[in-house]
Structure formats: C-alpha cells, structure tokens
Structure 1
Amino acid sequence: MKTALPIVVGVDGSEPSLRAVDWAADEAALRGAPLRLVYASLWERYEGAALAQDLGRPSEEVTAEGIVRTAAQRAGLRQAGLEISTDVLPEEPEYALVREGHDAAALVLGTRGRSGFVEMLLGSVSLTVAARADCPVIVLRGSHDNQVRAGARGRVVVGVGEKAADSAALRFAVQEAKLRHATLDAVRAWRCPAHETTDHPLLAGEPARLHALHASDVLDQALEDVPADLDLKRRTVEGPARRVLLDASYNADLLVVGARRNPGHLGLQLGRVAHTVLHHAACAVAVVPEQA
C-alpha cells in the first residue's frame, strides 16, 4: 500500500506558526496523511515570547528541539492518533522548506509579516517558499486568526485562469472542497479592454458581452470533470482578477490560485494575482504550481 505524502508545516515557535500547526494537523487528519513539523534556522535559539510563555521559560532558553517538541504535542492534542514526525534543520528556512516540498502533499506556513506592517506585508520566508516550491503551499497571514479553523465558513474559492484545462489549482481546490464537505466557488474574472469600447449606440456593450461569453466558456470547460456530487458554485465577474479574488476571500476558508512555473527560471515565480492575494487575502491562501 502506497504511503500518503505528508503535510509539512514550518514552525519557529511564534504564534502564527503555532496556528499553522493547528491548520496542518487538521489538514493531515482530513487526508489521512502523516504530519511533519520542521524547524529550519542557522540559529540554535529562538528569540521570541509566544512559545517561551507556554513553556514557562525565558525566550533565550527556548531551543529548536523544544520548539518542535512542543508543536508536536500541540498537534497531537488537536488530532489524536495523528502520525507526527519532527526535524531540526541547521540551514536557511527558505531552502529547507522548498526542499521539503519535493516529497510533500502540501506545505503549511504561518507568517508574522514585518514590524508595523504585519497585516500588510508577507514574511519573506513564506513568499519565497510559495514562489518556488513544487507542491501546494498554504499560507496563513497574521490577520487570519478567526478563519484558521478548517471548515469555519464551508467555502473553498478557486480562481480559474485563461489556461484552465488540466489545472492543478482546480484539482487541488476540488480535493479540498470534498475533504471539507464544503462548497467550491469557481470564479473567472474578466475585463473588457478600453480600446475595444465604442461610442456607437447600436454597438455599445457588444465587446463586453463577448468577453463575458468567453469567460463563461472558459469556466464551463474547466469545470467539465468536476464530480457531480460536489456542491459547486460557478461565477464570472467583471473586474481585475486580483480585486475579484480578494473580495471572494472574505467569505472563504481557503482561496486557491495557480502559479505558473518556468523550468530553468531561477527568479521568484509568482504572478501578480498570486502575489497580491498572498499579501492581502482575508483567508488562508493556497498557491498551487502549474506547468508553464
């Protein structure tokens, strides 16, 4: 029998990473998968207060081993019977977590943002991993406190792009919706370029109608193989995809977007839509790699 790939969660002892442990434990339990907790850093000691307070020890005495041990206990209490493993890796977390993603069903990360901009800017580790990992990366920002619990709103949103055929993001969203017994909200954003508008009263609105019809066709084709027993909601919405998906995130447990990977390209491989929702979405975001 083939062993299920693990859900991997990056931990550092901070409050956001502990919420990520909760999410990852729920995700692993839903999938019947093992949970792997990874602490990666070039520094041995953790300089933070959240975990130190839980342990009743000064922050300078909290070590990496203590962080993963306490996180594993937390996950075990949340999901009894879960298969849990831990590891401490003495290297930069970006590189370690991307490598961990080679053999993972998904990576789950929390992020604290940067100083006073905690609600606006995504942490560099989460951004880098989401841009380079070759498995889905689920990111919980600091503002996601009351939406971390899987199934709180019963809705998974997926953005459907132009190249929707055989979309890994859509397959992932379908799986998540089925696991959670949630509604899948498939959204296709569309816009009518300004140069296609016309002042002729008999033709006014015709370019927009054609773009709307095209968006509907793209969505229909993408959803052809969605299981009939899934609670599916399909929508075409006029507007920039970034704005449309951000609006949709306010009533969702999870927002799923695709990110195209270009083999041989070493830079950050996140499009504008994925980059924006990672920074500003009101719910957890899953970035799923798509082949270029």
Structure 2
Amino acid sequence: MTLPMVVGVDGSEAGLRAADWAADEAALHGLPLRIVHASLWERYEGPVFTQSESAEVPPEHALAQDIVGHAAERARQRHTDAEITVDIVPEDAEAALLREAHHAAAVVTGCRGRGPITGALLGSVSRSLATHARCPVIVVRGSPQNRQGANGSITVGVGDATTSTAAIRFAFREAEARRCTLEAVHAWRRPAPKSLKHPLLAGDPAPRHEDQAATLLEDALRDPEHEHPDVLVHRVTAEGPVHHVLLTHSATADLLVLGAPRRHGPLALPLGRVAHAALQHADCPVAVVPQREAPPEQPQ
C-alpha cells in the first residue's frame, strides 16, 4: 500500500501554499496527494478567510467544499496526472491531522498564526503535529524562492543518534529525489573558560571539541552516504548555539530537516528548543522527522 502525502488546508493563503508544496512533493516521490479540511479548524487558528471578502459567505459545507476544491484544482494545474483525493472531516484540525499521520508518508501544513505577522508565527496545529505525529511533518514557511526549491540544497541538522538517524535518512532520500546537494550541519559549543593552574591542562580546548564534532558528523553520515552514493554531501561543523546555526543555514536551503525524539507508548516529549525555533523563524520549509525509541525489551 502506497501511503499518501497528506496536506491540511483551511482556506488561508498559507494553507494554499502548503497544498502547492505538497502537490510538488507528492509528484516528486510518485505518491498520491490527499487534501484534508477539518471543519472546526477555526476553533484553533481563528476565522477562515474566503477568496472574496465581498462575496456572501456560503453555508458551512459549501465553504468546506470550496476550500478543498480550490486546493485540488491548483494541484491539478501543477501536475495534470496527479492522483488526488479530498476529504472534509467534522472535527478539529489537530485531531484530524494526527489521525491522518498514522497512514501518511508525511503531513504538510502551512505556518500560520494570529495577527498581522502571520508569516512569522507558528500555528498551534503545526506545533502539535510536530510534537506528536508518527510520520514526518513539513511546515511550509520561508521566502518564495526557498519554498520553490531554487537553491538546490537541503540542510539537515545532525545531533546524536537518539534524535538524528531517521532525519538524516529522510534528508538523503529528499536530496536524491531532488538531485540536489545535502548540507549536513553539526553545531558545537566552545566550553566556558576555566582557571586552570596545572600547566598540562593549559591551552585552548576548542580544536579538540571541533574534532569531536567532525568525528560525530562522519559517523552519522557513513551508512546513509554509502546507501545514496549519488548524493553530494557538504559537511559543516559550526561553533555556536544549534538553533542559531541552523537558522542561518536555512536562508540558503530549500528544506531544513530536523529530528525529534518520540517515546515508545503514549508519553510524548515536548518540542525541543531547536525544532521550535526552526518552525518559528526558518526561512525555508521545515521537516520534523520523528525518531522513535526502541520498545522496551520483554522479560524472559
């Protein structure tokens, strides 16, 4: 069974941009596109905006049909042979899209908030999906150039094995499908200066930490690079806070890929500072890829 690329639409411009991006992504990977509208979305994100403010607002069902129909028509114009299904569900967007995530290759949403700076704020639905979804979640944000893939580069943040393995493999598959460069970034921090009286402990420890960062990066990339030999990889070790480093690199990326830990079972970890900052401020679409913990071993 081929899992679809799922996109949530709410009638906003951000939702339509997300649908366009999802249509391109589905075509890139040969996947069906599923467009979902949750009729109670406005409970979380505010009122739905119609295409014409002067037009009389149609009944709720007709409005929902118009929202998914318009998104589907745009997708067909971009990819005439696309396999597209639409669905309208009478529930809130968070519950609907989390359920869709159980049977999706990925879930795509727009980045939308309240007030006059909606392009900069992260909507509550997107935040919840990035925290809890069982599949990759892509929040479509950033400049038009970066959303349209004009840079020819994907950036993946590389941390430790508990958060990065699935994200790295996702990033390699994306780079291979797009035939673009993969930039693998690991940020490291210079330790706080200490007063060291022993002469053997003197000197700048920064080179040692940078070497450790390079070794970690090399170890993390070894297997996926072997599996995807056609992907050109640029390794980057940069000193500084992780979220600052990745936000800087997002300015020249078409997609920023991050890992997020997921506990086995019903418990969920909160969205980390790095992922939250990226979803809030990155200048390109952001993919949050869940890294699932192995289930506990059963007693013999």
TM-score (norm 1): 0.90
Are positions 1:129 and 2:129 aligned together? yes
Identical counterparts, % of pairs: 51
Determine the C-alpha separation between the residues in 1 that align with 2:194 and 2:170: 35
The letter for the 2-side match of 1:158 is V
1:50-199 pair list within 5 angstroms = 50-52=50-52, 57-60=55-58, 63-141=63-141, 143-149=142-148, 151-163=149-161, 167-194=165-192, 198=196
Q: Say whether the 8 Å CA contact 2:32–2:82 is kept in structure 1.
A: yes
Residues paired across the two proteins, number: 285
The match for 2:38 is 40
Secondary structure of 1:276's aligned partner: helix
How much does 1:148 deviate?
A: 1.8
Separation of aligned partners in 2, 1:277 and 1:170:
17
How many angstroms does 1:42 deviate by? 2.6
Q: CA 1:89–1:165 in 2, change beyond 3 Å: closer, same or farther?
A: closer
Per-residue CA deviation, residues 7-49 of structure 1 (Å, 9 max, x unaligned), is: 00001111111011110000000000000000012379x9544
Given that 1:260 and 1:269 are in contact with CA atoms closer than 8 Å, whether structure 2 keeps it comes out as no
Aligned equivalents of 1:111, 1:236: Cα separation in 2? 29
The amino acid across from 2:99 in the alignment is R
CA contact (8 A) 2:262 2:268 kept: no
* Alpha-carbon distance in 1 for matches of 2:111, 2:117: 12
**Partners of 1:15 and 1:51 within 8 A in 2:** no
Native 8 Å contact 1:197 1:204 kept in 2 = no
Q: CA deviation at 1:199?
A: 7.8
Per the alignment, in what secondary structure is the counterpart of residue 167 of structure 1? Answer: helix
Write the letter of the residue equivalent to 1:217: T
2:21 corresponds, among 8, 20, 23, to: 23
Deviation of 1:164 (Å)? 6.6
Secondary structure class of the residue paired with 2:253: coil
The change in CA–CA distance for 1:193 and 1:60 in structure 2 (over 3 A counts) is farther
CA contact (8 A) 2:176 2:230 kept: no
Q: Is the 8 A contact 2:10 2:41 kept in 1?
A: no
The gaps in structure 2 that reach 5 residues or longer are: 294-300
After TM superposition, the structure 1 = structure 2 runs for residues 232-247 of structure 1, keeping only pairs within 5 Å, are 232-247=233-248
CA deviations on 1:40-62 (whole Å, 9 max, x unpaired) are 12379x95445347xx8434555
Does the 8 A contact of 2:145 with 2:151 survive in 1?
no
Could you tell me whether the CA contact under 8 Å between 1:156 and 1:185 is conserved in 2? yes
In 2, the alpha carbon distance for the partners of 1:89 and 1:50 equals 19
User: Residues 42 and 75 from structure 1, CA distance in 2 versus in 1: closer, same or farther, beyond 3 angstroms?
Assistant: same
1:152 CA drift (Å): 1.2
Query: What letter matches 2:189 in structure 1?
Result: R
Match of 1:8 in 2: 6
Tell me how far apart the structure 2 counterparts of residues 214 and 57 of structure 1 sit (CA, whole Å): 61
Q: Residues 214 and 279 of structure 1: is their aligned pair in 2 closer, same or farther, counting only changes over 3 Å?
A: same
Helix, strand or coil for the counterpart of 2:161?
coil
